[in-house]
Amino acid sequence: MGVLSWRKYLMLPIMVIGFAACEDADDFNNVIEQISCSDGIQNGDETGVDCGGICPVCLDGLDFSGVYVQQDIAGRPAINSVLNIAGPLQDAFNRSMVSARGNQDFIDGSDNQTFPGVFLENLEQYFIGYTLNEEPVSFQTNVLGFDAATFTDFMATTDALQLAAQGTTTYRNAELWFTGRNLTDDVMDTTFLLMFGGPEGDRFDGVNGPLLISDGVGPGNRQFLTDFPYLEAPLTQ
Instruction: Give the tens place of pLDDT for each residue, 213-227.
Output: 888 888 888 888 888
Has residue 228 been placed in a domain?
no
Has residue 218 been placed in a domain?
no
Question: Which amino acid, 31?
Answer: V
| Higher pLDDT among residues 77 and 175, named by residue | 175
Q: What is the pLDDT of residue 20?
A: 47
Has residue 185 been placed in a domain?
yes
Has residue 208 been placed in a domain?
no
8-57 pLDDT tens trace: 554 545 554 444 445 544 555 565 667 888 887 888 888 877 788 888 87
Has residue 102 been placed in a domain?
yes
Q: What range defines the domain where residue 131 resides? A: 79-196
Q: How many domains does the chain have?
A: 1
E-strand spans in the chain? 131-132, 135-136, 172-173, 176-177
Nearest to 212 by CA among 116, 146, 140: 140
154-166 pLDDT tens trace: 999 886 667 777 8
Has residue 115 been placed in a domain?
yes
Has residue 49 been placed in a domain?
no
Q: What is the pLDDT of residue 11?
A: 53
Has residue 96 been placed in a domain?
yes
**Alpha-carbon torsion angle 43, 47, 48, 49, nearest 10:** -20
Give this prediction's pTM.
Answer: 0.63
